[in-house]
Copies of this chain bind each other. A is one copy, B any other.
Amino acid sequence: MKLYEDQRAPNPRRVRIFLAEKGIEVPRQQVDIMSEEHKDPAIANLNPFTRLPILELDDGRVICESLAICRYFEAVQPEPRLFGTDAFDQAMVEMWQRRVELMLFMPVSYAFRHSHPRMARLEVPQVKEWAEANLARIPGMLDYFDGELGQRPYIAGDRFSVADITALCAVDFMKLVRLSLGEGHANLRRWHAEASARPSASA
């Protein structure tokens, strides 16, 4: 089994944190996106969309998409549950994972990829107005999630879940668009400090 990833990219980090929370070790091969190594034929053969991470199983089968890789390991080794427990809890994790991804992670990603000069060759066309529209949306989303985190310890409820992993990667990804949590985000800061203090955060 081998995980193709880039130590500096946010999506591979989601899988690294997930695996660390499960206590699962997988051999990794670094692929440097900034040097466009992910466009090498060896990677394109594994994922036609040339995105990372990619998990290659011992029998040669391949799983792409961070969340699909995470779900594979959740099924192989259910504990600790990172996609929820009973039916309603599973729905809450899916709902919050998607809200964080659609409302925070993707806006940060769009704001970065459609504005940064280093991304001009990877994101074609770069649409500056789309970057600006997404950048403008982020502070309101932080206010929203701050309010939610005033009501419970973790993003999706009383337990750490894959929704917290996506949120942690999104908030840390904000550095690349020069945004950070504000003084008014006391709940988000409490949550971020706790999530960052988990050993998995530095995986």
| B87–A76 CB distance below 8 A | yes
Is A65 on the interface with B (CB-CB < 8 A)?
A: yes
Is A75 on the interface with B (CB-CB < 8 A)?
A: yes
Is A86 on the interface with B (CB-CB < 8 A)?
A: yes
| A90–B71 CB distance below 8 A | yes
| A72–B99 CB distance below 8 A | no
Is A69 on the interface with B (CB-CB < 8 A)?
A: yes
**Chain B residue nearest to A144 in the complex (CB):** B48
How many residues in A have their beta carbons less than 8 Å from beta carbons of B? 31
| A87–B72 CB distance below 8 A | yes
| A72–B49 CB distance below 8 A | no
| A65–B130 CB distance below 8 A | no
Set of chain B residues within 8 Å of A67, measured between Cβ atoms: 94, 98
Is A194 on the interface with B (CB-CB < 8 A)?
A: no
Is A119 on the interface with B (CB-CB < 8 A)?
A: no
Mark interface residues in A126-143 (1 if CB within 8 Å of B CB, else 0). 010110010000000000
Set of chain B residues within 8 Å of A178, measured between Cβ atoms: none
Set of chain B residues within 8 Å of A49, measured between Cβ atoms: 99, 103
A144 to B47, CA, bound (A): 12
Known: A125-B133, A130-B130. A86 touches B75 (CB 8 A): yes
Set of chain B residues within 8 Å of A48, measured between Cβ atoms: 144
Set of chain B residues within 8 Å of A144, measured between Cβ atoms: 48
Known: A127-B133, A130-B130. A72 touches B90 (CB 8 A): yes
Mark interface residues in A43-75 (1 if CB within 8 Å of B CB, else 0). 000001100000001000101110111011001
A98 to B76, CA, bound (A): 20
| B103–A91 CB distance below 8 A | no
Set of chain B residues within 8 Å of A72, measured between Cβ atoms: 87-88, 90-91
Set of chain B residues within 8 Å of A195, measured between Cβ atoms: none
A-B contact pairs, 9 of them (CB 8 A): A65-B94, A67-B98, A68-B91, A71-B91, A71-B94, A72-B88, A127-B130, A129-B130, A130-B130
